Amino acid sequence: MDWSDTTEEAAFRQRVRDLVADKLPARYRDLAESDHRESNYPWAVDRASGDPERESASRAWLDAVAAERWVAPHWPAEYGGGGLSWMEQFILNAELARANVAPPASNVGLNMLGPTLIVHGTPEQKARFLPPILDGEIVWAQGFSEPGAGSDLASLQTRAVRDGDEYVVNGQKVWTSHAHYADWIMLLSRTDPAAPKHRGITFLLVDLRSPGVTINPLINMAWGHEFNEEFFEDVRVPADQMVGEENRGWYVAMTLLDNERSNITGAMSVQRRIDRLLAYLSSEEGATRSRLARHDALRQQIAQRAVEAAVLFNLSLRIITMQRQGMVPNYEASASKIVAYEAEQGLNIAATKAFGLYSNLWDPGEPVATMEAGFTHGYVERAASIGGGTLEIQRNVIATRGLGLPRG
CA distance linking residue 307 with residue 316, whole number of Å: 14
CA distance linking residue 352 with residue 335, whole number of Å: 26
- Return the SS3 of 216: strand
CA distance linking residue 368 with residue 355, whole number of Å: 11
Question: Residues 6 or more apart from 242 whose CB is under 8 A from it?
Answer: 167, 202, 203, 204, 205
Question: Residues 6 or more apart from 43 whose CB is under 8 A from it?
Answer: 58, 62, 102, 103, 104, 105, 106, 136, 139
- The letter for the amino acid at 4 is S
- The letter for the amino acid at 354 is A
CA dihedral over 56, 61, 64, 66, signed as positive or negative: negative
Other C-beta atoms closer than 10 Å to the C-beta of 195 total 12
260 an active-site residue? yes
Which residue in 95, 226, 230, 260 is the catalytic one?
260
CA distance linking residue 357 with residue 351, whole number of Å: 11
Strand (E) or helix (H) holding 199: none
DSSP 181: G
- The DSSP bridge partners found for residue 248 are 201
Maximum Cα interatomic distance, the chain, rounded to a whole number of Å = 72
CA distance linking residue 78 with residue 87, whole number of Å: 20
CA distance linking residue 123 with residue 117, whole number of Å: 9
- The letter for the amino acid at 48 is A
Active centre residues (catalytic): 260
